[in-house]
């Protein structure tokens, strides 16, 4: 797992509705990936209900 963010990777420890800002920013640039359940230092923290978050 990549342990740092860059212009194409964004880590989010938990899902929040404000995440839309990052998704729109990636959509308006060269694209990218938002990874939920990953701390800023790259360690996996996981999420409580991944199915609910995906919906």
pLDDT along the chain (55 residues), means of 10: 78 87 86 88 86 82
Which range of residues forms the domain containing residue 23? 9-54
Task: Give the count of domains, the chain.
Answer: 1
Residue 32 lies in a domain: yes
Residue 17: the pLDDT is 84
The pLDDT of residue 2 is 62
20 is a domain residue? yes
Residues forming a β-bridge with 15: none
* Residue 25: CB atoms within 10 Å: 13
Q: Is residue 2 situated within a structural domain?
A: no
Q: Is residue 25 part of a domain?
A: yes
Whole-model pTM: value is 0.72
Count how many Cα atoms sit within 13 Å of the Cα of residue 17 in the half-sphere of its side chain: 0
For 16, residues 6+ apart whose C-beta sits below 8 A from its C-beta are none
Round to whole Å and give the CA distance between 8 and 47.
22
Residue 16 lies in a domain: yes
Any domain includes 24: yes
In a domain, 43, yes or no: yes
pLDDT of residue 23: 85
Asked if residue 26 is part of any domain, the answer here is yes
User: For residue 1, what pLDDT is reported?
Assistant: 60
């Amino acid at each position: 797992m990549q342990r740092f963010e860059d212009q194409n990777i964004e880590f989010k420890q938990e899902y929040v509705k404000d995440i839309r800002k990052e998704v729109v920013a990636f959509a308006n640039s060269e694209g990218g990936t938002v990874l939920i359940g990953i701390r800023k230092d790259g360690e996996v923290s996981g999420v409580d209900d991944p199915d609910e978050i995906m919906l």
